[in-house]
Chains A and B, each alone.
Chain A
Amino acid sequence: MSGQVPDAEAVYREFTPVVQALLGPRTELVGIVTGGWWLAQRLHADLALTRRAGALSSAMHRDDFARRGLTARGGTELPFDVDGADILLVDDILHTGRTIRAAVNELFDYGRPARIRLAVLVDRNGRELPIAAQHAQVRLALPAARSLQLGRNEDGRFEFHLEAAG
């Protein structure tokens, strides 16, 4: 089983220069809460970005809300005007596509962006919506009953965990 789980730090190291290449002078980097926001914060530091990164929560637009209820994690904070913005979304794992759908709806509650692109660490099988990333560092085929999660340990390093899907 552990053979299926990539080394998150190695994937992140390869991901970093790709993100740098995707960022134009006026591109806004936005991470999806929680894993994508960790990623955005770390990219912001490692790439010495001057524009503040945004945090985007998908919670208010989730379609499984009635089943899962609302979890009080971080909220949306966008330190720029969304109208006309060029946005690069980053997230840890692209799976069903439902989180991205909800996150894009959340963005539109703040305005009309000129363009939204998506870059993820891992693109795994199991898509349920017609959503694709502009860039995925790793593509994985995992058992449907397994959920891949990004974790962040105490010194800020990333780790992937493979768990039973809940």
Chain B
Amino acid sequence: MRSARNLQLNRNGELVHLLSTEGLPREQLLHILDTAGQFASVSDREVKKVPLLRGKSVFNLFFEDSTRTRTTFDIAATRLSADVYTLDIGHSSTSKGESLLDTVANLSAMVADIFVVRHAESGAPYLLAQHVAPHVHIINAGDGRHAHPTQALLDMYTIRHYKPDFSSLVVAIVGDIRHSRVARSDIHALRTLGAAEIRVVGPRTLVSADMVPMGVRTCHSLQEGISGADVIIMLRLQRERMHGALLPSSEEFFRTYGLTPERLQWARPDAIVMHPGPINRGVEIDSRVADGPRSVILPQVSFGIAVRMAVMSIVIGNEADP
């Protein structure tokens, strides 16, 4: 069986599926970011649409709810002139006992070109990528705790937009590292792009050295974690984690790790603050920071559309090995 790493690329090294930033070669990663740069201006045109995916069908398969991510994929596919079908899978066929592969086999018979997949099980997009026809492409929109590659790519696009030289950057990722597929995907992409220092910051129940690759610095104090940082990525604290005794309360988390304007001064004066959204005001981030001059949270959303357009337009031109 081919490894997960190879499954994303055909024998010419071209991207056919986007499953993870782990094992995504630097040149492919930069190609996506450069291509996204061309799409960033499409929204400035009088005609906010290009015909690259005209006649192609994009199916959104969201087995786990996410209005925001699904909407940005919708917009990206629509701006590329694709026909977009969104299936509310979580509440239909799977609840009738149909397997994941049966669902996709059925949808492939409806002539799909791209499946955008979000699933609560880690690895679900890999399973699909192994079973679809060579001209069908899988884009992982988040699988379990494993990966969220388009979020990581839009984070890299955002960082590069404000801080072009990764080799001098100190990047701090703050919050629930344990459950975060965003953190994992960001770390792989940052290492590939050669970020000078990557830190993960949070309480011991949510952050430990065995959760991250070698060379990533683990900090349990916010001050240590963001001192001198150029980029701060705040993660969303998922409230359901409170019930698992991993955290005492959201108020206590905010007291210890919440990013306030006062604490932001520990970072470099030109540091940018990012967040994958949706933000919990007063839990991981103070409103004065989220809405403040260092926040790039809303540009992230706009860049996310361009990055998803880039990924879809790149994979559609490449065919998997037979």
Q: Which of B14, B34, B310, B316 contacts A66 (CB 8 A)?
A: B316
Among A57-65, A123-131, A146-154, the one that faces the other chain is: A57-65
Interface size on A, residues (CB 8 A): 18
A148 to B317, CA, bound (A): 25
Q: Which of B34, B37, B46, B52 contacts A111 (CB 8 A)?
A: B46
Q: Is the beta-carbon distance between B50 and A60 smaller than 8 angstroms?
A: yes
Q: Which of B41, B49, B314, B316 contacts A75 (CB 8 A)?
A: B41
Q: Is the beta-carbon distance between B35 and A70 smaller than 8 angstroms?
A: yes
Q: Is the beta-carbon distance between A109 and B45 smaller than 8 angstroms?
A: yes
A80 cross-chain contacts in B, Cβ below 8 A: none
A115 at the interface (CB under 8 A from B): no
A67 to B52, CA, bound (A): 12
B47 cross-chain contacts in A, Cβ below 8 A: 108-110
Q: Is the beta-carbon distance between B51 and A60 smaller than 8 angstroms?
A: yes
A75 to B14, CA, bound (A): 22
Which residue of chain B is the closest to A70 with respect to CB atoms? B313
Q: Which of A61, A67, A69, A72 contacts B51 (CB 8 A)?
A: A61
B72 at the interface (CB under 8 A from A): no
Which of B35, B37, B49, B314 has the largest count of A CB atoms less than 10 A from its CB? B35
Q: Which of B37, B46, B314 contacts A69 (CB 8 A)?
A: B314
Q: Is the beta-carbon distance between A70 and B52 smaller than 8 angstroms?
A: yes
Q: Is the beta-carbon distance between B35 and A72 smaller than 8 angstroms?
A: yes
A4 to B197, CA, bound (A): 55
Q: Which of B38, B310, B317 contacts A65 (CB 8 A)?
A: B317
Q: Is the beta-carbon distance between B45 and A110 smaller than 8 angstroms?
A: yes
Interface size on B, residues (CB 8 A): 21
Known: A109-B47, A111-B46. A69 touches B14 (CB 8 A): yes
A66 to B85, CA, bound (A): 21
Q: Is the beta-carbon distance between B317 and A69 smaller than 8 angstroms?
A: yes
The smallest beta-carbon distance between B37 and chain A, in angstroms, is 7
The smallest beta-carbon distance between A106 and chain B, in angstroms, is 9
B318 at the interface (CB under 8 A from A): yes
B38 cross-chain contacts in A, Cβ below 8 A: 57, 59-60, 70, 72, 75
A75 cross-chain contacts in B, Cβ below 8 A: 37-38, 41
B255 at the interface (CB under 8 A from A): no
A75 to B136, CA, bound (A): 28
B313 cross-chain contacts in A, Cβ below 8 A: 65, 69-70
Which of A67, A72, A75, A76 has the largest count of B CB atoms less than 10 A from its CB? A72
The smallest beta-carbon distance between A114 and chain B, in angstroms, is 16
B31 at the interface (CB under 8 A from A): yes
A82 cross-chain contacts in B, Cβ below 8 A: 46
Within 8 A of A (CB), among B110-162: none
B49 cross-chain contacts in A, Cβ below 8 A: 109
Known: A72-B35, A110-B46. A60 touches B52 (CB 8 A): yes
Known: A60-B52, A72-B34, A72-B38. A66 touches B317 (CB 8 A): yes
A61 to B52, CA, bound (A): 7
The smallest beta-carbon distance between A141 and chain B, in angstroms, is 32
Q: Is the beta-carbon distance between A70 and B317 smaller than 8 angstroms?
A: yes
Q: Is the beta-carbon distance between B52 and A76 smaller than 8 angstroms?
A: no
A15 to B51, CA, bound (A): 34
The smallest beta-carbon distance between A102 and chain B, in angstroms, is 10
Q: What string of 1s and 0s marks CB contacts (under 8 Å) between B304-315 and chain A?
A: 000000100110
Which residue of chain A is the closest to B42 with respect to CB atoms? A60
Which residue of chain B is the closest to A67 with respect to CB atoms? B317
Q: Is the beta-carbon distance between A72 and B31 smaller than 8 angstroms?
A: yes
Within 8 A of B (CB), among A77-97: 82
A102 to B318, CA, bound (A): 21
A60 cross-chain contacts in B, Cβ below 8 A: 38, 42, 50-52
Q: What string of 1s and 0s marks CB contacts (under 8 Å) between A18-46 and chain B?
A: 00000000000000000000000000000
Which residue of chain A is the closest to B315 with respect to CB atoms? A69
Q: What string of 1s and 0s marks CB contacts (under 8 Å) between B292-322 and chain A?
A: 0000000000000000001001101110000
Can you identify 22 A-B contacts, CB atoms within 8 angstroms? Answer: A59-B38, A60-B38, A60-B51, A60-B52, A61-B50, A65-B52, A65-B313, A66-B317, A68-B317, A69-B314, A69-B316, A69-B317, A72-B34, A72-B35, A72-B37, A75-B37, A108-B47, A109-B45, A109-B49, A109-B50, A110-B46, A111-B46
Give B contacts to A, CB under 8 Å. 14, 31, 34-35, 37-38, 41-42, 45-47, 49-52, 310, 313-314, 316-318
Given contacts A76-B41, A110-B45, 5 further A-B contacts (CB under 8 A): A59-B38, A60-B51, A69-B314, A70-B52, A108-B47
